[in-house]
Amino acid sequence: MDLWIKRRANVDRADRARALLARLPESVTKHGVTHGMPVVDKGVVKRAHPNEEINARIDSAPVRDVPIADLHAIQYSVKPGRVLTFIDDPDAVPTGLHDPNHGGIVDAPIVIKQGGKKLLWDGHHRTVAAKLMGDKTIKARYVDFDARG
């Protein structure tokens, strides 16, 4: 594909995403806008697994494609400005980045499968940006607590 056409398509996707973001309603918590994903209590994972186990599994989790439509959020809202960051630069979080507060890896969204549900553990803003850009999947660190191994 011609480079100009590819760049134009990316600009069009970003413009469309910005317009969709501007129309998202305020969330019930009034801490941002709604993201359109069902929300579940992250306690379902925390009650079954200690933090040390969760963090160890996240650090060693493979990165794989996960359908956005399969995800359940653990937060009710996203901040529009942070979503815009990822619309403008989907690679804004560098590979290998660890959170300065908790020390865990955050270079990709994190999905934890527990009880048959795929919980978006981290990366809500990145995921909403991808969804608004028209993506059907995200690349996420995938922890499957349902798998026996």
More confident residue, 98 or 10: 98
Do β-strands 110-114 and 117-122 pair in parallel, antiparallel, or remain unpaired? Answer: antiparallel
The b/e string for 114-128 (b: 16+ C-beta within 10 A; e otherwise) is: beeebbbbbbbbbbb
Do β-strands 137-144 and 110-114 pair in parallel, antiparallel, or remain unpaired? Answer: parallel
At 3, the amino acid letter reads L
* Stated pTM of the model: 0.90
Q: pLDDT of 120-148, one tens digit each?
A: 999 999 999 999 999 999 999 999 999 86
Residue 111 pLDDT level (bands cut at 50, 70, 90): very high
Position 8 scores a pLDDT of: 59
Domain boundaries defined on the chain:
3-144
Name the residue with tokens 């795929």: 118
* pLDDT, mean of residues 73-84: 97
Position 104 scores a pLDDT of: 84
Residue 98 pLDDT level (bands cut at 50, 70, 90): confident
Rg of the chain, C-alpha, whole Å: 16
Position 103 scores a pLDDT of: 80
Residues found in the chain: 149
Residue 5 pLDDT level (bands cut at 50, 70, 90): low
Q: Is the dihedral of CA 124, 130, 131, 137 positive or negative?
A: negative
Tell me the percentage of the chain whose pLDDT exceeds 90.
75
Domain covering 3-144 in this structure, CATH number = 3.90.1530.10
- List Cα–Cα distances, 135 to 13, 14, 128, 138, 141, in angstroms: 10, 12, 10, 7, 17
Position 7 scores a pLDDT of: 61
Residue 9 pLDDT level (bands cut at 50, 70, 90): low
With H, G, I as helix, E, B as strand and everything else as coil, classify residue 45. Answer: helix
